[in-house]
A and B are shown apart, each in its own frame.
Chain A
Amino acid sequence: MRLHDEAIVGAARGRHDLKEVAMEIPRDDLVAMYATMAKIRYFEERIREIYYEDKLPAFDIAAGPIPGEMHLAAGQEPVAVGVMPHLRPGDAITATHRPHHVAIAQGVDLGRMAAEIFGKDTGLGHGKGGHMHLFSVEPSFGCSGIIGEGMPVACGAALAFKRQGKDNVAISFFGEGAANQGAFHESLNLAALWNLPVVFICEDNGWAISVPKHASTAIADNSDRASAYGMPGVLVPDNDPIGVYEAAGAAIRRAREGRGPSLIEVRTLRLWGHFEGDADAYRSEEYKQEMAEHDPMVTYPERLIAEGVATPAEIDALTKAAHEEVDEAIEFARSSPYPAPEDALRHVFA
């Protein structure tokens, strides 16, 4: 994809041993991935629309039903949905400051998640965390506003699973910007050293806010960094849900079998700004136009239809159902009460 700088990518590719076994992908998974993508995209669109309520004409970040920073994941849906068909109850996920797509794909309660984003008492954290601090016990999900912070936590979850004799795995999502944090290198070393059941998934959207990858990262592909830690690294170059599905399936199977961690890098797309309110002036109109042409919400269903996996009517029905589910969650969030102000003092300690 030209959206990622091919000049520096060159011939470099990750080690493809995760693809040693060609997968037969069940049709249900192919279709379910679309349904989840539709749910994610519509959720992000609705949040975006509501986010701007009462914030304009002079943008006021503190105003409106959804205040604060808002990092939306439109374009990055394939990274999340390709992983999830391989998960089992008890598996753990840590995600980033841009967490909605991963949480939705994992099946975190959509209404409680929306309510947390609205700061409501019915939210996952009773309004204490907000959109960058979503936590769920079942399924086990956590995220963070600090770059790379979840990577050691995933190692710890994996260490616990190993100690407890479970075959669960931990998945750590992080951006390509995080791959230049110490936490990335410490975590990969620890996971490989202790042979932990972790899969590290780098969501390479090419941009650390306004800084392109080539201006921040000494090598073309973070997947190549896997070799420094003696683990398999694989590059999914085209934001393809099926590519993610294959790579993640092999890595997760490997982790479950006690064969240790893997690193996957997916070249994905951040269709919108870093956060809402970002004028996105550092990316050209041509670049944005080309991103739109590669929007996975267009290309993936087209492919399902073209290859006879799903009919247009099925796609429409899935889209409609996804929208209804999201609308219901948003309505739940809107109509929920705020926490009592003095509840700010609760939950510091157990």
Chain B
Amino acid sequence: MTATMTERKLTMQKAIAEAIRQEMERDESVFVMGEDVGVYGGIFGATEGLLDRFGPDRVIDTPISETAFIGAAVGAAIHGMRPIAELMFVDFFGVCMDQIYNNMAKIHYFSGGAVKVPMVLTTAVGGGYSDAGQHSQTLWGTFAHLPGMKVVVPSSAYDAKGLMISAIRDDNPVVYMFHKGALGLGWMTHNPHATGPVPEEPYAVPIGKAEVVREGTDVTVVTIGLSVHRAIDAAETLDAEGISVEVLDLRSLVPLDREAIVESVKKTHRLLVVDEDYRSFGMTGEVITTAIEGAFDFLDAPPIRIAEPDVPIPYSRPLERFVLPGVDDIVAGVRGLVAA
């Protein structure tokens, strides 16, 4: 963390809401729209307090019409505004993906750079609380696969604020995904990693820069979102066994900080990739390919991956725990890598 540290601590949820509030105070063109972003303050609290502060003209509750309001965000962005549109759960993208990947993400390219679409699409991702297969997915690999939109996924309150500020100021569409289990919500399982120091003043965390959140020498664990917390917990356990784990938090999938992946693998010679998204055709394959392309001669063992095993996310607690990456899975994976 590079910016000024303060003693004040916030949950990730409050850090996101603060970032939006400060940007709305700074820039009249920033406004928020989505389902339940007003009186409710966002189902996950991302827009908490904004309606009282800015009123219904700038914090707009929408009908359940994702195609209309995400498309409207595109139109408003083209015409001088900086909208933040909230897709309540990323799982809902099926009803509006055309506006996202065919429209929002392509207009700048089609126009040869003449038309800019500076908007943020915020959305909640992730499982672990038995919300079943239409409210628990991460799907960041799907968005990252499609060109023309940046994709960021903060894991800490500090990054959540700084990345939101960067996203709002970016002249490109940015998909900003927050993991429900990392927000520090009172109604989710308590997560001590969800709260952290957050400077009061506005600051930007650059999009496209990964961060080594824990230094180590034996194995690199590359991951994103809530799995960063899982990897840190695993690293603590492994530390007691004399295994030194480096945890690299990608923070952004688009742009992907390939250099950081390659540098860490060159240092540790072993790579484990952890992803809460589906295993095949996704982030784990991309990260491992990056390591092989950039650090093949440095690898002492074949890279391995822990990811959702290509099944819909099941409801029942033991079933869901089985498919989502857990601390124990990471510990076992690292042990296996070191033994290889």
Contacts and interface: CB of A to CB of B under 8 A. Distances in A.
Contacts, number: 146
A157 B78 contact: yes
B171 interface: yes
Contact of B114 (A137, A151, A193): A137
Among A142, A146, A152, the one with the most B-chain Cβ atoms within 10 Å of its Cβ is A152
Contacts of A140: 78-79
Given A137-B114, A146-B102, A187-B68, A159 B76 contact: yes
Which interface residue of A142, A146, A155, A349 has the most chain B CB atoms within 10 A? A349
B67 A183 contact: yes
B111 A124 contact: yes
B72 interface: yes
Interface class of chain A by DSSP = mixed
A72 to B, nearest CB: 20
B115 interface: yes
Interface in A122-163: 123-129, 133, 135-137, 140, 142, 144, 146, 149, 151-161, 163
Interface string B65-104: 1011111111111111101000000000001001100110
A170 interface: yes
B150 interface: yes
B148 A348 contact: yes
A61 B18 CA distance: 54
Interface in B265-298: none
Contacts of A193: 63
A347 B171 CA distance: 12
A156 B71 contact: yes
B112 A155 contact: no
Nearest to B114: A137
Contact of A149 (B62, B83, B102): B102
A189 B63 contact: yes
Interface residues of B, number: 43
B80 A164 contact: yes
Nearest to A343: B112
A126 B62 CA distance: 36
A149 B57 CA distance: 25
A186 interface: yes
Contacts of A164: 79-81
A189 B68 contact: yes
A157 B109 contact: no
A136 B110 CA distance: 11
A153 B75 contact: yes
Interface string A167-203: 0001000000000001100110110010000000000
A160 B111 contact: no
A142 B78 contact: yes
B103 A149 contact: yes
A350 interface: yes
Contact of B147 (A126, A129, A157, A348): A348
A105 B106 CA distance: 25
B99 A135 contact: no
B113 A170 contact: no
A83 interface: no
A92 interface: yes
B112 A149 contact: no
A2 interface: no
A164 B83 CA distance: 13
Interface string B13-36: 000000000000000000100000
A155 B85 CA distance: 14
B65 A190 contact: yes
B251 interface: no
A278 B61 CA distance: 45
A161 B81 CA distance: 10
B138 interface: no
A186 B63 contact: yes
B304 interface: no
Contacts of A157: 75-76, 78-79
A92 B108 contact: no
Nearest to A172: B75
A129 B67 contact: no
B116 interface: yes
B72 A348 contact: no
A187 B79 CA distance: 18
A126 B69 CA distance: 30
Contacts of A161: 79
Contact of A124 (B70, B112, B147): B112
B172 interface: yes
B299 interface: no
Nearest to B28: A163
Contacts of B79: 92, 140, 156-157, 160-161, 164
Interface in A231-280: none
Nearest to B75: A156
Contacts of B31: 163
Given A135-B110, A157-B79, A159-B76, A190 B115 contact: no
A125 B103 contact: no
A349 B74 contact: no
Nearest to B254: A349
* 7 A-B pairs with least C-beta separation: A156-B75, A152-B71, A156-B72, A186-B68, A126-B112, A129-B110, A135-B111
Interface of A: 92, 94, 123-129, 133, 135-137, 140, 142, 144, 146, 149, 151-161, 163-164, 170, 182-183, 186-187, 189-190, 193, 346-350
5 contacts: A153-B74, A156-B72, A157-B76, A157-B78, A347-B113
